[in-house]
Structure 1
Amino acid sequence: MIRAIRRGAAAIREAGEKYLLKFPSESKEEYSRRLKSSPWRPEFMDSLQTLSAKPFTKEVKLAEDATPAFEDIAQNIDGQGNNLHVFAKDVFEGAVSMGAHGILVDFPTGTGAVTLAQERAQGVRPYWVPINADDILEVTTEQRGASRVVTYLRIKESRIEKTGFEQRRVPLIREIEPGAFRVWREEKRADKTEWVLDSEGAMTLDEVPFVFFATADKEGDQYVRPPLLDLADIQIELYNALSKKEQTFTIAASPMLTANGMAAPDDDSAIETGPGRVLYAPGGEGVNASWDYIQPNAANLKEIREDIREIIEDMRRIGMQPMTQKSGNTPALAFQFDGEKSFTVLQSWALGLKDALEQAFVFTAKWMKSEGQAPSVMVHTDFAVGLYGAQEVNALLEARKEAQISQETFWDEMQRRGVLGPQFDREAEKERLAIENPPFDPEGQLDPVVA
């Protein structure tokens, strides 16, 4: 469901009755029309992107003591031109939406290099591969001393094969265990589908270089309940509510005509409702014929709009979007509390990402046979800053005015909130302030230039 929601309106409509309920007596043609006209509002994706963007308002980078070799790898972490920041953002968004994401630290095989010097001369280096949660088929771990290590991994992959002008995606399954890997290819026979061995090779590490990053509690080695699953359910609820609204407003805009006291056409067809239809109510002796319209009550339309508005508000509250004060019936304190709660959850996720990235660098160091220690990764986790908006800045200004905090502390806090940009240079600022605010000279004896 979450994967379909992330793909958008086309994927949801393609799923048909799986996500848009069909009325018991609704014809296939009527349902098809309603399916095509049902609105889609991507509230789930809006919340997901808002949550996922928070740790990346500042660059994800290596600590200052990282070696040049690791810095070079971080600039092209996946071998496809993406740096550590971009790669980490995709991993984090995948883990927030699906509950987990994997990082496989792979190494090229078949290069012919025998020694470390030969590998470096050829530019051979490890690279990271992101693995979606629903592509992880099996993970097996075991306890080795104080560490839990992966001893078996089975994942889904694919490969594009070209024949003439046609391209075909071939499903693959990769198995990895200490000492070896195998790739299986799907082949469809006349009567069945088989998996045949496509390639295999050796792996020198004594464990599978795989990092499983989860944003919720794990069940076993690989199963996780997505933290936004309830939000996804409400997204489908909103989709169905919008469909009903569209249907009701369509009928309201094109009311049905009734023919009271008139005979219906001579056919045995079922009574149909909707725009452009006529309902006949045959009358007896003494009944005056009349024409009239049937349409929804205006009060019902208002209730439908209010219901949809409440669903959207619930989604935004549960999705932790309203992180600032809100006017209206809901107390601002309640929304601030939701914001603080979301930041607490986000902080734990961001710290988990930091651990996952650092573990991936441990595997990278093993592949590189590096003598130095794997580098630390800097991930932004100071989310509570700015929760109360302008109130925080005003409080800092007042504290500085009353000399309750130093100038240096004031600058630090303003930089944390993004009020002062990354180009701010405090040493240069001190020189400017000295020029604009010369020392106080009550006797008037100092030379103006010196002052």
Structure 2
Amino acid sequence: MTHPVRLQSKEAAALNEHCELISALLGGTKAMRAAGETYMPKWPGEDAEALKVRIAVATLFPAFGRTIEVLGAKPFSKPVTIGEDVPAKLVPWLEDVDRAGRNLHSFLSEIGQEALGYGFSGILVDYPPTRDKDGKPLYVTKADEQAAAVRPYFVQVHPKNILGWLTDKDGMSQLRLLESVDVEDGDYATKAIEQVRVLRRGSWETWRQVPNKPEEWVLHDSGSTTPLAKIPFVPVYGQRLGNMMARPPLLELAYANVEHWQSKSDQQNITHVARVPILFAKMLGENTQITVGAGSAVKGETPESDLKFVEHTGAAIEAGRKSLLDLEDRMRQAGAELLVIKPGNVTESQTLADNEQGACALQKVAENLEDAADQALQLMADWVGEQEGGHVTVFKDFGAATLAEASAELLLKTNQAGKLSDESLHEELQRRGIVKPDTDWATEKDRIDSQGPPPGAMEDVPPPAGKKPVKADPAQP
């Protein structure tokens, strides 16, 4: 039986309901294959070996992961602005805000991507221990602490690491987090073990598993004095449903990506079958020997004898191909919807002036992240006795007026990443009414080729006498 400190509460389980699905999609082909039948169910009558082969050759169309990557980068296409009200004492710490090398911009970028993908992320504002296991101070004075660079820092908390929480009229009163810590394993190695951190107002505990006894946990360390009157944890929501409750904003896109994973496997299977013609023999006689090859012939024993290859007509293959293309287009639109501003406003200033009624969904995620960063800064200030933590600003003026405009931007990003051809991009822009319908791709390509390199690009360097031309890009043939 699981120890109560390690047991996940039903509320935390609800918060983590979609984590396995999201993790598999973000993990790419390897993770989806490892999930086996979870996302690739067995057909009626299909044997286990055939399913194993089908999964082993399947590849994931990374619509979900790519959309998270593109959309999550938009609020950070410009640097996070640190307000003038941020205390001077805190500003240098923001260059290494997690004590692992990430500055505030990079840290918030990864938090935002996590919230956008999983629907939830968290920022724990932690402080290094100042006492040993026996309760004795590690540092004699505050100057000693400063010399040792002891200061508050941010910790990124994945929703899967939240085991449970308790609340009262004053807010959160307890939070349990699952952690992995490295301990010595012999003279030259370490091993990772589970640890549960229990946070309460003004105190904390860490519990560890008893070696070789997975169901037994013991109190490893604790502290009873902190300068904070609250638990230093800030939730970051992708799509907020309530306190500590959230939903992935792109959940429907995730389901559609799984549908594409399954449908693409079906298409691979039927294409494989159709590529191999079946030899059909009719009334050749029981003793007829069949040898297939350019230098052989088969003689039938009756007038009705027949021998031919039977091939697939290809109709089902074409239908399957079109179905996949339609699904890919729906996935692009699902991602683009987060960029579409509600009717009435098109800029950040107009959005704020109209009480956010014109914000797109992605702007709201960025606003949630900005608010969370301000709260985390205040907790950092509380740790060191500063009155105010100040504010930061995250870029939010990136909404699109229409779904066609938003999806076109995603298509362009996909083309620039090398995942969509120029011709396909032209066709998709044409279908959205952005390019005139009577524009022919061959003609447009000739125009592009004749207009020369884009502004800012280096042209071919003219060769010295007797030398071959030198290309501006050595990778070009």
TM-score (norm 1): 0.71
- Structure 1 residue 320 displacement after superposition: 0.9
Contact 2:161 2:178 in 1 (8 A): yes
225-234 or 125-134: bigger deviation: 225-234
| 1:68 partnered with 2:88 | yes
Contact 1:150/1:210 (8 A) holds in 2: no
Q: CA deviation at 1:80?
A: 1.1
2:155 maps to 1:129: yes
Q: Does structure 1 residue 378 correspond to structure 2 residue 378?
A: no
1:119 and 2:135 equivalent?
no
Q: How does 1:2-21 map to 2 (within 5 A)?
A: 2-21=22-41
The aligned amino acid for 2:28 is G
Cα distance in 1 for residues equivalent to 2:99 and 2:254: 34
Mapping of residues 252-271 of structure 1, within 5 Å: 252-261=274-283
The residue type equivalent to 1:202 in the other structure is S
Residues 322 and 156 of structure 1: is their aligned pair in 2 closer, same or farther, counting only changes over 3 Å? closer
* Partner in structure 2 of residue 433 of structure 1: none
CA distance in 1, matches of 2:193, 2:285: 63
Paired residue type of 2:75: P
8 Å CA contact 2:111–2:121 kept in 1: the answer is yes
Q: d(CA) in 1 for partners of 2:386 and 2:232?
A: 15
Matched, 1:171 2:188: no
Q: For 1:177-196, what aligned pairs fall within 5 Å after superposition? A: 177-187=200-210, 189=212, 193-196=215-218
Letter of the aligned partner of 2:161 in structure 1? D
**Aligned to 2:334, which of 318, 329, 332?**
318
Q: Distance in 1 between matches of 2:237 and 2:306?
A: 67
C-alpha distance 353-290 of structure 1, shift in aligned 2 (>3 A): same
One-letter identity of the residue aligned with 2:237: A
With over 3 angstroms needed to count, the CA separation of the structure-2 counterparts of 1:115 and 1:253, relative to structure 1, is same
Q: Which of 87, 111, 128 is the matching residue for 2:107? A: 87
Match of 1:151 in 2: 173
| Matched residues, number | 353
1:301 and 2:317 are equivalent in the alignment? yes
1:36 equivalent among 56, 75, 87: 56
Contact 1:257/1:291 (8 A) holds in 2: yes
Partners of 1:264 and 1:300 in 2: how far apart? 35
Structure 1, 310-319 or 2-11: larger mean CA deviation: 2-11
Query: Is the CA contact (8 Å cut-off) linking 1:95 and 1:101 kept in structure 2?
Result: yes
CA 1:231–1:296 in 2, change beyond 3 Å: closer, same or farther?
A: same
Q: Which runs of 5+ in 1 are unaligned?
A: 266-284, 325-332, 391-420, 422-451
1:161 pairs with 2:183: yes
The percent identity for this pair of structures is 30
Q: Quote the Cα distance in structure 2 between the aligned partners of 1:263 and 1:122.
A: 93
The answer on whether the counterparts of 1:47 and 1:321 sit within 8 Å (CA) in structure 2 is no
Is this contact kept in 2: 1:320–1:342, CA < 8 A? no
Once the two structures are TM-superposed, the CA of residue 198 in structure 1 deviates from its matched residue by: 2.1
| Structure 2 residue matching 1:218: 3-state secondary structure | strand
1:100–1:213: 8 Å Cα contact kept in structure 2?
yes
SS in structure 1 at match of 2:90 = helix
Q: 1:14 to 1:287 in 2, by over 3 A?
A: farther
Q: Secondary structure at the match of 2:198?
A: strand
Query: Which stretch of structure 1 is more off in the superposition, 223-232 or 291-300?
Result: 291-300
Q: Give, in angstroms, the shift of residue 109 of structure 1.
A: 1.0
Cross-structure match for 1:291:
307
Cα 1:223/1:166, change in 2 over 3 Å: same
Instruction: Say which SS state the counterpart of residue 24 (structure 1) adopts.
Output: coil
Bigger Rg, which one: 1
Letter in 1 for 2:204: F
In the TM superposition, what is the alpha-carbon distance from 1:233 to its structure 2 partner? 0.6
- 2:46 maps to a residue whose letter is E
Which of 351, 354, 376 is equivalent to 2:367? 351
Contact kept, 8 Å, 1:172 with 1:186, in 2: the verdict is yes
Partner of 2:164: 138
Deviation at 1:169, TM superposition (A): 1.9
Deviations along 1:22-71, one digit per CA (max 9) or x if unpaired, are 11211222111111111211111111111101100111131134332111
CA distance in 1, matches of 2:264, 2:358: 28
Give the counterpart letter for 1:54 in structure 2. K
Over 3 Å counting, the alpha-carbon distance change for 1:29 and 1:355 in structure 2 is same
1:248/1:296 contact within 8 Å kept: no
> Superposed, which structure 2 residues align to 1:227-246 within 5 Å?
227-246=249-268
CA–CA distance in structure 2, aligned partners of residues 262 and 172 of structure 1? 74
- Note the aligned Cα RMSD (angstroms): 3.2
How far did residue 225 of structure 1 move?
A: 2.0
Question: Counterparts of 2:285 and 2:49 in 1: how far apart (Å)?
Answer: 27
Distance in 2 of aligned mates of 1:246 and 1:343: 41
Shift of 1:286: 7.5
- Following superposition, the deviation at residue 305 of structure 1 comes to 0.8
The two structures have a TM-score, normalised by structure 2, of 0.68
Distance 1:263 1:222 in 2: 76
Change (3 A) 1:287 1:27: farther
Relative distance call for 1:55 and 1:166 in structure 2 (3 A) is same
Residues in 1 aligned to 2:400 and 2:249: alpha-carbon distance in whole angstroms: 24
**Is residue 47 of structure 1 aligned with residue 73 of structure 2?**
no
Counterparts in 2 of 1:224 and 1:260: CA distance versus 1, 3 Å:
farther
Give 1:317 deviation, angstroms: 0.3
Q: Please tell me whether the aligned partners of residues 97 and 228 of structure 1 are also in contact (alpha carbons under 8 angstroms).
A: yes
Per the TM alignment, residue 138 of structure 1 is displaced from its structure 2 partner at its CA by: 1.1
Structure 2 letter corresponding to 1:363: L
Deviation of 1:352 after TM superposition, in Å, equals 0.8
Question: 1:183 deviation in Å?
Answer: 1.2
Letter in 2 for 1:21: P
Task: State the Cα distance separating 1:308 from its structure 2 match.
Answer: 0.3
- Cα distance in structure 1, aligned partners of 2:35 and 2:394: 38
1:68-118 CA distance string (max 9 Å, x none): 211111111001111000000010000011111010000111353465454
In terms of mean alpha carbon deviation, does 50-59 or 104-113 score higher? 104-113
